[in-house]
Amino acid sequence: MTTTQRPVAEGLFTWPPAAGPLRLIGSQCAVCHLVSFPAAATCVRCASDESKERLLADRGTLWTYTTQDFRPPSPPYDGPEAFEPYAVGYIELPGELLVEARLTEPDPEKLKIGQDMRLTLVPYTVQDDGTEVMTFAFAPAEEETP
């Protein structure tokens, strides 16, 4: 049986996964050159409307992180009822920006500042019809690609 998947939101990352390398979709201002994520039509620094879509790096380094050890309040959290702790962090994409993202490794003992990280997709939730909702995350680069 084939599982149907969809992205958590359109325009955050390249989709579908088989269409090519996974990348986050950002934007870059043509005036001040600020790189933003998610992509924005108007620059948050200079208010120019001359931003162009840009695919961001798929690798970076762990800048900082924390763990989410309890189920966030609903709304806005709409993930699974069976909560499992996870880590979130900022990944520095070289020469671009810091991206806040979920981390695939929930154990803080296995994470370290400066660690090489790679972009991946993880299930966020499963809808009533069985559709798996996917979101982006970063995994330690030494983990094997799924």
pLDDT tens, 55-78? Answer: 999 999 999 999 998 888 888 777
Is residue 95 one of the residues assigned to a domain?
A: yes
Is residue 12 one of the residues assigned to a domain?
A: no
Q: From CA 30, how far away is CA 87, in angstroms rounded?
A: 34
Q: Which one has a higher pLDDT value, 146 or 12?
A: 12
pLDDT over 70 (residue 146): no
Residue 1: what pLDDT? 55
Query: 10 by DSSP, 3-state: which?
Result: coil
Is residue 34 one of the residues assigned to a domain?
A: no
The predicted model scores a pTM of 0.89
Q: Which of 125, 22, 18, 128 is nearest to 74 (CA)?
A: 125
Query: 15 by DSSP, 3-state: which?
Result: coil
Domain with 89 in it: 58-146
Task: Say which residues have a Cβ less than 8 Å from residue 94's Cβ, sequence separation at least 6.
Answer: 57, 60, 61
Quick check: 122 and 134 in contact, CB under 8 A?
Answer: yes
Tell me what percent of the residues of the chain surpass a pLDDT of 70.
Answer: 96
Is residue 5 one of the residues assigned to a domain?
A: no
Is residue 108 one of the residues assigned to a domain?
A: yes
Q: In the chain, how many domains are there?
A: 1
Query: Tokens representing 135?
Result: 């979101």
Quick check: 112 and 62 in contact, CB under 8 A?
Answer: yes
Is residue 129 one of the residues assigned to a domain?
A: yes
Residue 12: what pLDDT? 96
Pick from 41-45, 81-85, 126-130 the range whose average pLDDT is largest.
41-45
Is residue 1 one of the residues assigned to a domain?
A: no
Q: From CA 96, how far away is CA 15, in angstroms rounded?
A: 21
Is residue 71 one of the residues assigned to a domain?
A: yes
